[in-house]
Amino acid sequence: MNHERRIMTNKKLLKSTGIISFATTTSRILGFIRDILFAKMFGTGIFAQAFVVAFRLPNMLRDMVGEGATDAALVPILTEYQHTRSKEEYWEVARVILNLMLVVLVVLSAAGVVFAPFLVRVIAPGFIRDAQKFEATVALTRIVFPYILLLGMVAYSKGVLNSFHSFAAPAFSPVVLNITLISAITMLCPVIGVRGMAIGVLVGGFFEVLVQIRPLVKNGFRFKEKFKITHPIVKRIGKLLFPRMLGTAVYQLSVLMDTVLASLAWIVGNGGVAAMYYSIRLTQLPLAVFGIALATAALPKMSKEVASNDMEKFKNTVAFSLRNISTVMIPATVGFLVLARPIVRILFQRGEFTAYSTNITTSVLIFYSLGLLSFAGIKILVGAYYSMGDTRTPAKTAAISLGVNLVLNLILMWPLKIGGLALATSIAATGNLIILYVILSRRIGDIGIKRITLSFMRVCISSVIMGVFTFVTYRLFLYSPNPSKTHDIFVLIGIVFGSCIVYLVAAYITKVEAARKIVGLVLEKNEKKYSV
């Protein structure tokens, strides 16, 4: 009976992951269209770098008081109240959290606009040498910075809706943002330049908030309430959130450090900041579509299991999540290692995005892809700590990772240029993942290391088989001195699709759990279809 229940809960987890993955896939496809248009118009030049830095500033703070707060404090506490308290108590706490977030985010937005020149000097000191680049970055920062308020509201809505196991609206909100940004690039940017992107960010953020309102109201949210920021739960939220903010601050210091070093063109080369942006966008596809999607769906489930003191189910959820992310992230890594250059060239190399831009972006993409499994695994394990009410341990391990990342950056940026910064990040993330896993295992007992290791080995074998197929087909059909964009797009899609089929077959033969379930579902549907 327990085994059957575990299968049912895992199926629900995969169903939630599927909803988030579908929404994220849609968003990423639109995001790629957005990035292709952006790359064509701005390449890796001055205005591309100015926008990337300006957009990064509010995004650095959003994880601290927005999405980070959601994962660290909102989802665990709201999930607990959802299952142990009355509906009135739940919404009282939810409204207090909203009011607190509004106060903090309004102050941060105003401060960002006022102190924009100082912030740009700190995050991109290399820009000071170029007056045009510096002034453009400051101007864009002042336009974009209030986006942090809108991001915070989206994160709040996500936390509330996820506590009801409602994932659709939060997952689809980035789709609205990308549609708005595509419209801004095609209609505003040709008229007013890169400022059109900054305005598009604000308008898109407003629409992101708008799509959350209906599901919030449907679940019980009401607007006509007194403005209240005092409640006994505030202290508990602070205890959970403050270490999380420190941990996020450490992570954001890592992002800041990479941006600072990438802005030093005389060491890492011109266009480094933009190259990092494009390569991160590419690696985010498998990471967001499955890794972050699974972590998002798993967090409320793990929080509920901890709240009910069912540690066996909790350990099963953690192990199940780790096994499944390796099923996707390892073949994705192999795919990027083989196809990095044609992917970047075919997607971006047009207009202002030159062959030089392709070279530096390819270098970063290859080295970032080596950390895919670690980036996704950290999301799962950090969520496990948060569900137990422990935000200190992830903060401490992130601090260690930051130190490792800094040392490796300073060593690798000279011989490998901008690619060295990406490799340093991947190595530091892998160390962080190992430390988090070891500490969690010692705290709650064996999480199924033998089964995870066996699954990992099977996935690696299947991925190598896929990688050989990918490399051979790439050399036969895509490695051409006179490429044709339209032809190459279809060939690349065919190679990726064929590689996925080869991997799935190899994974089925090597008995990879997820692959067998996928094939089983397909066969089951076909049997039902032909039996009717």
- Which of 172, 186, 178, 185 has the alpha carbon at shortest distance from 204? 178
**Distance of alpha carbon 205 from alpha carbon 177, whole angstroms:** 6
Q: Which residues of 18-52 are buried (b: 16+ CB within 10 A; e: fewer)?
A: ebbbebbbbbbebbbbbbbbbbebbbbbbbbbbbb
Of 158, 148, 56, 141, nearest to 97 by C-alpha is 158
One digit per residue, the tens of pLDDT, for the chain of length 532 reads 454 455 445 556 656 666 777 887 788 889 889 999 999 999 999 999 999 999 987 877 666 655 555 555 566 677 777 766 777 777 888 888 888 888 888 998 999 999 999 999 988 999 998 899 999 999 999 999 999 889 888 888 887 887 777 777 888 888 999 999 999 999 999 999 999 999 999 999 999 999 988 888 888 887 766 777 766 766 776 666 666 666 666 666 777 788 889 999 889 998 999 999 999 889 988 887 777 667 767 777 888 888 888 899 999 999 999 998 999 999 999 999 999 999 999 999 989 999 999 999 999 999 999 999 999 999 899 889 988 988 789 888 988 999 999 999 999 999 999 999 999 999 999 999 999 999 999 999 999 899 999 999 999 999 999 999 999 999 998 876 666 677 888 999 999 999 999 999 999 999 998 777 766 655 554 444 444 3
- State pTM to two decimals: 0.81
Q: For residue 189, what are the contacts with CB-CB under 8 A and spacing of at least 6?
A: 41, 196, 197
Q: Domain coordinates of the chain in residue numbers?
A: 2-531
Residues 6+ apart with CB under 8 A from 125: 260, 263, 264
Contact yes or no for 119/57 (Cβ under 8 A): yes
Alpha carbon of residue 301 to chain centroid: 20
Nearest to 138, CA basis, from 158, 118, 156, 153:
118
* DSSP conformation letters of 314-380: HHHHHHHHHHHHHHHHHHHHHHHHHHHHHHHHHHH-STT--HHHHHHHHHHHHHHHTTHHHHHHHHH
